[in-house]
Amino acid sequence: MRKVVLVPGDGIGPEITDSAVRVVEASGAKIQWEKVEAGAKVMQEIGRPIPPRFFEWAIETGVVLKGPVTTPIGSGFKSVNVTIRQRLNLFANVRLVKSIPGVKALHSNVDIVIVRENTEGLYSGVERESSYGAVESVKITSAEASKRIAKFAFEYALANNRKEVVAVHKANILKKGDGLFLRCAGEIASGYPGIKFRDMLVDNAAFQLVTNPSQFDVIVTQNLYGDILSELCGGLIGGLALMPGANFGENIGMFEAAHGSAPDLAGKGIANPTGIILSAAWMLDYIGMKSEANKIRNAIYKVLGEGKVLTPDMGGNATTEQFTEAVIAALG
C-alpha cells in the first residue's frame, strides 16, 4: 500500500479528483490516500490557503495528486500552485501534449512534451510600485535554475527516446535574462550529442505550434512562456481537459491536470476528468505501478475513441459521473 497525498482543490477540483481516485482504485492500484484541503475555503477557515501539514506529508510521501485550486485575480492570496512549487522546490513543470485518436481537434499528429522552469521568472512574484501609476515586475533568471531545467529536459528526452529539444526564449529583446537561459541550455546540450538541439523565439514558437506542431518533440522554456504555450497546445489537441501535467523536484512528484478550477462549472456535474485521470496514471508510472497505469490509459483511449460517452466540452452530453463509470467499465 503506497501513501499518496490527495489535494481535491476547489471549483471542479473535488469532482474530477474523485473520478481519478475511483479509476485508480478500480485499476487495482493499492493506494492509501492522505487527504488535505487547500484553496479559497481553507483560506477563509485558517487564514492561509495551504495547511502546514500538506508540506510535511508531501515531503514524507514524495507523491501528490492535486486538483485545480482557485487563485484570485489581481488581489487576494498568492497562487497556491506557485507557493507549493516554490516551497517544495518542484523546479520542473511537465505537460504531455498528445493527440488522442477519435477526439476532434485542430491537429491529429501532436506529441509534444513541454518542460517549464517552475521556480523563477515573472512567477517569482517580485513586484513593486516604482512611482504612482507605474509597477515594476521583476523577471528572475539564474544560471543554476536554467542549467537544472535544461538538464531535466535532456534527461527526459534520453529516457523517453525523444530526438530533439527546442529551447524557447526571447533573447533578441531580453538579452541578459533570456540570453543567460539560452546560453545555459546550449551548454547543457553539448553534453547530449545524440539529441538534436535548436532554439526558437517564443512568438515564432507560438506560430509554428499552431501551423506545424509535428516539428516539435521536447520544448524547454521559462516559467511564463511555458505556461502560455501549454495553454496554446491544449487547443491543438481538443482542450486543456485532455492534458496531463506533473511537477518534479528532488525525490518528489506532484501530478495535476493542466487546467484551472473552472468555478463556473463547479457543482454542475459536467466537468471532464480526463486530464487528471491521465495525470493519476502518470503518477502510478512514477511509483512503479506501470501495469495499472497502462490499464487506465487504455481505458481512457477506448472511451474517447468510441465517442459514445463524452462530456459537453467534447461535444457529448455525458456527466462527469457517466464518463467516469465508462472508463471504469473499460478497465476490464
Helices in the chain by DSSP H: which ranges? Answer: 13-26, 40-46, 52-61, 80-87, 143-159, 177-189, 202-211, 223-237, 274-286, 290-306, 320-330
* pLDDT attached to residue 52: 85
| Residue 100: inside a domain | no
Are 223 and 244 members of one domain? Answer: no
Instruction: Report the chain's C-alpha Rg in angstroms.
Output: 20
What is the pLDDT averaged over residues 61-84? Answer: 79
Select from 188, 213, 237 the last residue of a domain.
237
pLDDT in tens, 17-32: 999 999 999 999 999 9
Distance CA 225, CA 204 (A): 12
* pLDDT attached to residue 145: 97
What is the rounded (10 degree) CA torsion for 293, 11, 246, 82? -160
Answer whether residue 257 shows pLDDT above 90: no
| Residue 98: inside a domain | no
3-class secondary structure, 310: coil
pLDDT in tens, 223-251: 999 999 999 999 999 999 999 999 999 99
**Binning pLDDT at 50, 70 and 90, where does residue 42 land?**
confident
What is the pLDDT averaged over residues 273-281? Answer: 97
* pLDDT attached to residue 77: 59
| Residue 272: inside a domain | yes
179-205 as b/e: b if 16+ CB within 10 A: bbbbebbeebbeebeebebebbbbeeb
* pLDDT attached to residue 15: 95
| Residue 211: inside a domain | yes
Are 230 and 119 members of one domain? Answer: yes
Select from 179, 206, 237 the last residue of a domain.
237
User: Is the CB of residue 86 less than 8 Å from the CB of residue 254?
Assistant: no
| Residue 35: inside a domain | yes
Answer whether residue 44 shows pLDDT above 90: no
Residue 4 neighbours by CB under 8 Å, 6+ apart: 31, 32, 33, 34, 61, 63, 64, 65, 283, 287
* pLDDT attached to residue 73: 57
DSSP state of 113: E
Distance CA 233, CA 47 (A): 36
Task: Provide the domain limits for residue 263.
Answer: 1-93+240-332
On whether the pTM is more than 0.75, the answer is yes
User: C-alpha grid cell for residue 206?
Assistant: 507560438
Plot region of 253 (φ>0 → left; ψ -120 to 50 → alpha; else → beta): beta
* pLDDT attached to residue 258: 87
What is the number of domains present in the chain?
Answer: 2
User: C-alpha grid cell for residue 320?
Assistant: 462527469
* pLDDT attached to residue 98: 95
pLDDT in tens, 133-145: 899 999 999 999 9
* pLDDT attached to residue 264: 82
| Residue 313: inside a domain | yes
The top-scoring range by mean pLDDT among 38-47, 193-202, 262-271 is 193-202
Answer whether residue 100 shows pLDDT above 90: yes
The angle at the Cα of 313, spanning 244 to 305, to the nearest 5 degrees, equals 65
* pLDDT attached to residue 36: 92
What is the pLDDT averaged over residues 268-281? Answer: 96
Are 220 and 111 members of one domain? Answer: yes
pLDDT in tens, 177-231: 999 999 999 999 999 999 999 999 999 999 999 999 999 999 999 999 999 999 9
Answer whether residue 262 shows pLDDT above 80: yes
Q: Which residue has the cell 517552475?
A: 118
* pLDDT attached to residue 74: 53
Are 23 and 81 members of one domain? Answer: yes
User: C-alpha grid cell for residue 311?
Assistant: 462530456
CATH assignment at residue 331: 3.40.718.10
**Binning pLDDT at 50, 70 and 90, where does residue 45 land?**
confident
Are 144 and 191 members of one domain? Answer: yes
What is the pLDDT averaged over residues 53-78? Answer: 82
| Residue 216: inside a domain | yes
Nearest Cα to 199, choosing from 213, 178, 228? Answer: 178
* pLDDT attached to residue 75: 52
> In this structure, is the dihedral angle defined by the CA atoms of residues 42, 281, 320 and 21, taken in order, positive or negative?
negative
Q: How many CA atoms lie within 13 A of 169 on its CB side?
A: 24
Average pLDDT value for the chain: 93
What is the pLDDT averaged over residues 97-125? Answer: 91
| Residue 101: inside a domain | no
Please tell me the chain's helix, strand, coil percentages from 3-state DSSP, rounded to the nearest 5.
Answer: 45, 25, 35
* pLDDT attached to residue 274: 97
Percentage of residues in the chain having pLDDT higher than 70? 98
